[in-house]
Amino acid sequence: MQQYTPGLLAGLCALALLPQLTPAAAIAQVATPPTTVAAVPTSGALANGALANVATREVAPQTTKHYFIEFRARAAQSYGHTFSIFGRINAQGKIVTSEVAGLHPFTESAIPWMIGHLVVVPSEIGASDGDTEDQYVLARFRIVLSEAEYKKVTKFIKQLQDKSPLWHAVLYNCNAFVGDIARFMGLETPTSTLSMPQEYIDTLRDLNIKRTNLAGVIGTPVEVEDASVLRAAALRAIERQNERQKKSATSSKSSSQ
């Protein structure tokens, strides 16, 4: 992976490429809370009808591989963000433990992100605000791994993190970071890193999910629930939590009177 040093050359290259930064030319998110995502209804008959119309992708009921890596796209206040989440799953494919690796401008301020459209800026390589909240997920693609495969992949991710690559909206963004991990695993990747994050992950999935020749690929691509279903489940959980908090607050108020 090539790294770029700030300076006049980088600035000129960035300026030359800036016309490509249309709303359809994607990059990484500002590290700020995501905007509202259009969601599947969380309760009632409408929710049942909506979920019935979602093309779900189910994990096989049983798996002999108890580790995973999942490439995801999520909503944000800017273009959105792509990142990876990896860890352990149980036999039913439910996530047991996980951690996040993704490339984004340092700090939660929007200033480094704005500057990063002109020159390269320092980055952070871990979870950004919203990465661990399923209600913002727009796309996902999972590969299940054996313990040996998992160790190999996470070792490579650690090496990427140790290099601390600089972030640039065009030259090296969150799509490029995820693409480096995917290529290391032998996966086919989208030709451009300047697509919207959701499009990038959807294309990554489509290129690999039905591959018949997996020679040289680390892990096994699997079908999972559509991101819409994941979002709906997360929103229902939030709704239930809010209802419990309201009941608790009402009960406490009544007891104090």
CA atoms of 26 and 197, how far apart (whole Å): 6
In whole angstroms, give the CA distance from residue 15 to residue 224. Answer: 40
What's residue 229's pLDDT? 93
For the chain, the domains span 20-246
- Tell me the per-residue pLDDT of 145-197, one tens digit each, with 9 for 90 and over: 999 999 999 999 999 988 878 988 889 999 999 999 999 999 999 999 999 99
Place of tokens 């919203």: 130
- What secondary structure letter does DSSP report for 172? B
Spatial distance between the Cα atoms of 154 and 88, rounded to a whole number of angstroms: 12
130: left (phi over 0), alpha (psi -120 to 50) or beta: left
User: Taking the complete model, does pTM exceed 0.95, yes or no?
Assistant: no
User: Which of 24-33, 58-67, 194-203, 210-219 has the weakest average pLDDT?
Assistant: 24-33
Angle at 125 between CA 119 and CA 127, to 5 degrees: 120
| Contact in structure between 205 and 73 (CB atoms under 8 Å) | no
Burial 63-88 (b: 16+ CB within 10 A, else e): bebbbbbbbbbbbbebbbbbbbbbbe
